[in-house]
């Protein structure tokens, strides 16, 4: 069941195997996201989990090399890529406080004059993508290049079918983008921005790919090739935003149960960071009512309980 | 300037001294809370900071032995005392998600049928006190006994003048309590509850006292006498709620800058936890517009920057 | 079935009789208010309707002489009594816009700094009672004296059992009062105010009594003894507030169906004004989901359809 | 100053002249809408007022034959045109309750699942236009034909410059339309709908034109050629919606001061209906903070005071 890609330390392998066995025996798994057909078709019993260590070792259990739709997990990487380019100026256009409301809510956006509460609600991610697009001319391409480089997987790509489905169901995000544009907090044309945004969300990647791509956050900002993407302080900041805002309206609950910076996506994936130690990525398509993978949260909960590696 | 109370390790003393000097040179300090006269009269230039190590060593700089009004900092202790008694049942009556709104807001309370979002907004703290009152018959007395025992300071006490002022300005909290009572989420008579609540808030304690009283959270639930107050898991949970909800509507910002579980009060104090390592308490009465001590947040920010002790 | 009290014109008697027959044949009636036992016990099949003409003639059908709990209908009279005393200054403390939210909502009150949207939501009625209490020292007594004089019924009185039940279930109104007091928009002590308020709501009166007591609004401000309570302009204003805000969150629907200034109460009564012509009061205890009498609204709808007496 | 177009009864001419003189002497006029240049350029001292009697007589004072931008006044006509075609089914897609919030608010739309509160807030007018577009294939053309026929003015037309400006500033309305589309409450493609909507708003017409075009509401549904557009009941319903929702967040105030069904536009025009008697249209570009013409409301207030023609 386990495939190891390098020969270095596999410290957490026994823990992953135990978790995989427990998950096997657990019945309920929630329901896959059903707003687009390609997500709804996934089997809720699928499960994979990977650990990436600081030296680039990656290993896992279950379907840890099976690509799935990364969705909102990509928000972490676009945040890091834009923060690396513009620094603190970004925070004049998006906040870093928990939203206290379901992830699509327009209410707080209206009260706060078009400034989204944080980069991980859809409105905030649209702002980050808009700014990265202004700076690079191809935000989605920038993201893809980064993910390929960090994961070492040149085949990693967008899923055109999913991107098209997102576009066809894009009225809520179009509303958010036009609404913020009415407050002059969006620079690009809304259709251009939405195209960039939906392509990003459509990235297909495996637990192994995403665990590796996240290691710069466990290495305090250093990429896999040894260059620095973020300052130590910025890396800490991204981790802080993940912990307080990374799992929609369940950030408090996630902090309470798992106690690690994490970010979930409606494709059923969750990445998590143990600063200075390793990263994790877990995937299982069945979601709870707040949009987080049921088995994914449970597996991370078990991981921190069994290893004592919570930040608290 | 520094007074040490024991002879054991004083590892962070040079850091505290450096921070105190920096604060001395920093001009702006915000404004003390002005809703009651006794708080408004405090000098915004006052500053004290203490560290308590796991073995009970405590030391500090500035006015670290000067009592001040603990206010909302006490919410951490009543939460722990009630959680120790009733366990997870508490979470059916109060949530653990960030509120996403200023700390007195009634809006979310109405949307969520009288269940406050977390134990650190006023509504949530009223629920916790109500439940502790039901279980003990004297919630404020229970809190006082705990603080005296943990700080080793039998002179620690309520400030009757402050409690009376709070009562005279208590309409907002009375509204919250009656509102939740209309949803059957308050058991005790509202005037009895408010009396208990305002007495708790009025506790006068020093940075040294409060740092010591918080050490059970750095010791994963173990009190100063070696007995267990909270399970390891519960202690982790209280830390998680502090990190995500401990500083009113600025929890994200605090996590981003300081990166430690913390809890502030409008008296100008802030406690913070370095799990497994030590606790801190800082005090300076000038507040920012979100109700947190300006110099207090700055000092903790410097502490984690200088020591690298952030959880991220 | 019909009892006439004077020998003058009974122009609308045939219409009332026809409506009563139609109501007899109509099955559904909604459910009586159930938050206090004395209201819940009423028979939803009860029905009465009265017309009062400008000269003081009053007549009706069904149980039009049976006293019922006037509840929020009394808000019209306290508004008129306070407006007569203080004039436009009142409008600095309460608005006259529809609330756009269910009648107990605290949300808008918070956004608008403790100024209720209109005098007919509970918060607004509390403000009006508070101001009348400040001016008279006995707001409820003032109301009772007015109702007795206008209806010519000296036996009209408070219902002590209902007032006591309201007090026992008064947490929501206590929350509203304390909340507005925190904005300095309540002058009297909250318990004193609530006592006055709940006594007013408890007034027991019949359709005949209330139709007569309302005639000053059809006479452009002139009381039954020929003295003037309100200026012509003020009387028009009270009618306007009734039309736009008189039936909780269903004011638009009531205007659309009935087309008359009206005010309902959870006791199942509704008063309505045909300016310059007559007043109506209908009673049937079964309520719809927005708190208005099902048969009452239906009967008024039929009245304006059959007579063409809508203001539109 | 007065021009009469027919020789029949000119009953209200002396009143109009008196009002025009009073307005001449009144200094403050508010500020023209400034979100598009063509509106901002209008002189706030401009003033015109017209009365149309049931027989088609129309007369006025001031610039009553000067075309101005009708803007939201057109919402009354599209409502009537759609209601005439689909009847009560419309009310399953848009409510008829006051919004209780400023006219662009997305908040209530979110709470109420994409069903706007009434046809006169922008969201509601977009739904009405969408439905009329589905039924006619050319909602704006349908409106234009109706206005030309009722006013007898074949030169009445869209203002292409204004329509283009609206489109260029259309993000807020685009957000509303996409948002409702996400709830499946919009049938047409959003860009098509917005084009139709902005053309409607751009209609340029004079006080005389609009007073005439409104007479079907004073004639209980009968058009100028004697055919019936609306049933008597539907005409009453449109009047009721105008009274409770016709002046943005100031409907209560307008009912209180003027006491007539009315509808305002940000071009500075207001139409009003005296059911069974006549219609009025007044125009002056300076607006108050809630988007209603300052001199327009004042002139209508004077009209009902001087004539006693309020519905109350």
Question: Cβ of D251 under 8 Å from any chain C Cβ?
Answer: yes
pLDDT at C272 over 80: yes
User: 3-state DSSP call for residue B2?
Assistant: coil
Question: Cβ of A105 under 8 Å from any chain B Cβ?
Answer: no
| Closest CB from B105, B107, B179 relative to C175 | B179
**How far is the C-alpha of D295 from the C-alpha of D252, rounded, in Å?**
18
Full 3-state SS string of C40-65:
HCCCCCCCEEEEEECCCCEEEEECCC
- Is residue D272 a contact partner of residue D258, using CB atoms and an 8 Å limit? yes
Helix (H) or strand (E) segment spanning residue D270: strand D269-274
| Closest CB from D175, D181, D190 relative to A179 | D175
Q: What count of CB pairs under 8 Å joins A to D?
A: 48
Ordered alpha helix ranges (H), C169-206: 171-182, 190-201
- Is residue D280 a contact partner of residue D51, using CB atoms and an 8 Å limit? yes
CB contact under 8 A, D253 and C108: no
**pLDDT confidence bin for C248, thresholds 50/70/90:** confident
Is C183 within any annotated ligand binding site? Answer: no
- Is residue C268 a contact partner of residue C296, using CB atoms and an 8 Å limit? yes
State in Å, rounded, how far the first CA of chain C is from the last one: 32
pLDDT tens across the length of chain B (312 residues): 334 444 457 899 999 999 999 999 987 789 999 988 889 989 999 999 999 999 999 999 999 999 999 999 999 999 999 999 999 999 999 999 888 665 456 777 887 889 999 999 999 999 999 999 999 999 999 999 999 999 999 999 999 999 999 999 999 999 999 999 999 999 999 999 999 999 999 999 999 999 999 999 999 999 999 999 999 999 999 999 999 999 988 888 999 999 999 999 999 999 999 999 999 999 999 999 999 999 999 999 999 999 999 999
Active-site annotation holds for B61:
no
Specify the pLDDT at position B109: 84
Is residue B43 in some structural domain?
A: yes
pLDDT at A4 over 50: no
All residues of chain A having their beta carbon less than 8 Å from the beta carbon of residue D123 are: none
Q: What is the mean pLDDT of chain A?
A: 93
Report chain A's C-alpha Rg in angstroms.
18
CATH number at residue D177: 3.40.710.10
Specify the pLDDT at position B36: 87
**pLDDT confidence bin for C1, thresholds 50/70/90:** very low
% of chain C with per-residue pLDDT over 70: 96
- Is residue C51 a contact partner of residue C211, using CB atoms and an 8 Å limit? yes
Is residue B103 in some structural domain?
A: yes
**pLDDT confidence bin for A112, thresholds 50/70/90:** confident
Q: Which domain holds residue B269?
A: 3-307
Specify the pLDDT at position A102: 59
pLDDT at C239 over 70: yes
β-pairing, A68-69 vs A204-205, is antiparallel
**What residue in C sits closest to B174 (Cα-Cα)?**
C178
* Four-CA torsion B290, B293, B296, B298, nearest 10 degrees: 50
**How far is the C-alpha of A185 from the C-alpha of D303, rounded, in Å?**
45
Is residue C312 in some structural domain?
A: no
pLDDT at C112 over 90: no
pLDDT tens across the length of chain D (312 residues): 334 444 457 899 999 999 999 999 987 789 999 988 889 999 999 999 999 999 999 999 999 999 999 999 999 999 999 999 999 999 999 999 888 765 457 777 887 889 999 999 999 999 999 999 999 999 999 999 999 999 999 999 999 999 999 999 999 999 999 999 999 999 999 999 999 999 999 999 999 999 999 999 999 999 999 999 999 999 999 999 999 999 988 889 999 999 999 999 999 999 999 999 999 999 999 999 999 999 999 999 999 999 999 999
**How far is the C-alpha of D135 from the C-alpha of D137, rounded, in Å?**
6
CB contact under 8 A, C97 and D275: no
All residues of chain C having their beta carbon less than 8 Å from the beta carbon of residue B176 are: 175
Q: Quote the number of domains for chain C.
A: 1
All residues of chain D having their beta carbon less than 8 Å from the beta carbon of residue C312 are: 235-236, 239-240, 243, 261, 275, 311
CB contact under 8 A, C175 and B175: yes
What is the 8-class DSSP label of residue C221?
A: T
User: 3-state DSSP call for residue B64?
Assistant: coil
pLDDT at A108 over 90: no
Question: Cβ of D118 under 8 Å from any chain C Cβ?
Answer: yes
Full 3-state SS string of chain A:
CCEECCCCCCCCHHHHHHHHHHHHHCCCCCECCCCCHHHHCCCCCCCEEEEEECCCCEEEEECCCCCEECHHHHHHHHHHHHHHHHHHHHHHCCCCCCCCCCCCCCHHHHHCCCCCCCCCCHHHHHHHHHHHHHHHCCHHHHHHHHHHHHHCCCCCECCHHHHHHHHHCCHHHHHHHHHHHHCCCCCCCHHHHHHHHHHHHCCEECHHHHHHHHHHHHCCCECCCCCECCCHHHHHHHHHHHHHHCCHHHHHHHHHHCCCCEEECCCCEEEEEECCCEEEEEECCCECCCCCEHHHHHHHHHHHHHHCCCCC
**What residue in C sits closest to B182 (Cα-Cα)?**
C171
CB contact under 8 A, A95 and B252: yes
**pLDDT confidence bin for A269, thresholds 50/70/90:** very high
In sequence order, the β-bridge partners of residue A70 are none
Specify the pLDDT at position D198: 97
Specify the pLDDT at position A213: 98
Min Cα–Cα distance to chain C from D312, Å: 5
> Of A83, A105, A240, which to mutate for an interface test with B (greatest number of B Cβ within 10 Å)?
A240
pLDDT at A69 over 70: yes
pLDDT tens figures, A147-160: 999 999 999 999 99
The binding site of D consists of 72, 122, 166, 173, 197, 248, 266
Min Cα–Cα distance to chain D from A103, Å: 13
For residues A225-236, average pLDDT: 96
| Closest CB from D105, D107, D175 relative to A175 | D175
| Structure token pair of residue B17 | 């001294």
pTM for the whole structure: 0.91
Q: How many CB atoms lie within 10 A of CB B237?
A: 23
Reduced DSSP (H G I as helix, E B as strand, rest coil) percent helix, strand, coil of chain B, to 5: 50, 10, 40
Question: Cβ of B102 under 8 Å from any chain C Cβ?
Answer: no
All residues of chain B having their beta carbon less than 8 Å from the beta carbon of residue A251 are: 97-98, 244
CB contact under 8 A, D178 and A182: no
Is residue D312 in some structural domain?
A: no
Using CB atoms within 10 Å of the CB of residue C25, give its burial: 0 to 12 exposed, 13 to 18 middle, 19+ buried. exposed
Specify the pLDDT at position D102: 59
CB contact under 8 A, C172 and B190: no
Using CB atoms within 10 Å of the CB of residue B137, give its burial: 0 to 12 exposed, 13 to 18 middle, 19+ buried. exposed
Give the max Cα distance, chain D.
Answer: 54
Question: Cβ of D302 under 8 Å from any chain C Cβ?
Answer: no
> Of A130, A171, A172, A176, which to mutate for an interface test with D (greatest number of D Cβ within 10 Å)?
A171
Active-site annotation holds for A9:
no
**How far is the C-alpha of B23 from the C-alpha of D299, rounded, in Å?**
63
pLDDT at C2 over 60: no
pLDDT tens figures, C115-136: 999 999 999 999 999 999 999 9
| Structure token pair of residue D205 | 């017409």
**How far is the C-alpha of C93 from the C-alpha of A55, rounded, in Å?**
67
Is residue C76 in some structural domain?
A: yes
CB contact under 8 A, C175 and B171: no
Name which of D179, D186, D190 is nearest D111 in CA terms.
D179
Ordered alpha helix ranges (H), chain D: 13-25, 37-40, 74-86, 107-111, 122-136, 139-151, 160-168, 171-182, 190-201, 207-218, 232-245, 251-257, 294-307
| Closest CB from A106, A177, A182 relative to D110 | A106
Q: What is the mean pLDDT of chain C?
A: 93
Question: Cβ of D164 under 8 Å from any chain C Cβ?
Answer: no
Question: Cβ of A98 under 8 Å from any chain B Cβ?
Answer: yes
**pLDDT confidence bin for C182, thresholds 50/70/90:** very high
**How far is the C-alpha of C130 from the C-alpha of D24, rounded, in Å?**
42
Question: Cβ of A244 under 8 Å from any chain B Cβ?
Answer: yes
CA distances from C56 to C1, C219, C278 (A): 21, 11, 9
CB contact under 8 A, D252 and C261: no
Specify the pLDDT at position C104: 57
For residues A129-153, average pLDDT: 98
Is residue A312 in some structural domain?
A: no
CB contact under 8 A, C172 and B179: yes
pLDDT at A2 over 60: no
């Amino acid at each position: 069941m386990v495939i190891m890609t390098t020969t270095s330390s596999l410290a957490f392998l026994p823990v992953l195997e135990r978790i995989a066995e427990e998950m096997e025996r657990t019945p309920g798994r929630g329901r896959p996201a059903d707003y687009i057909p390609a997500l709804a078709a996934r089997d809720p019993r699928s499960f994979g989990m990977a650990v990436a260590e600081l030296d680039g070792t990656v290993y896992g259990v279950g379907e840890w090399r099976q690509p799935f739709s990364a969705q909102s997990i990509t928000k972490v990487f676009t945040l890091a890529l834009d923060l690396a380019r513009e620094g603190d100026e970004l925070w004049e256009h998006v906040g870093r406080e928990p939203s206290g409301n379901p992830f699509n809510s327009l209410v707080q956006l209206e009260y706060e004059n078009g400034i989204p509460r944080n980069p991980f609600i859809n409105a905030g991610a649209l702002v980050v993508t808009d700014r990265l697009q202004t700076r690079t001319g191809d935000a989605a391409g920038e993201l893809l290049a980064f993910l390929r480089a960090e994961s070492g997987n040149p085949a990693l790509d967008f899923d055109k079918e999913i991107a098209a489905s997102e576009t066809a169901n894009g009225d809520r995000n179009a509303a958010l983008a036009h609404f913020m544009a009415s407050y002059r907090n969006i620079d690009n044309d809304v259709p251009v921005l939405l195209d960039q945004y939906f392509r990003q969300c459509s990235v297909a990647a495996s637990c192994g790919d995403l665990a590796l791509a996240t290691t710069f956050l466990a290495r305090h900002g250093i990429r896999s090739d040894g260059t620095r993407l973020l300052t130590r302080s910025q890396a800490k900041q991204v981790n802080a935003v993940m912990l307080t805002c990374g799992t929609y309206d369940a950030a408090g609950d996630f902090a309470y149960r798992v106690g690690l910076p994490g970010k979930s996506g409606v494709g059923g994936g969750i990445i998590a960071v143990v600063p200075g130690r390793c990263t994790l990525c877990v995937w299982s398509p069945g979601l709870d009512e707040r949009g987080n993978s049921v088995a994914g949260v449970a597996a991370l909960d078990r991981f921190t309980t069994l290893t004592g590696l919570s930040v608290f």
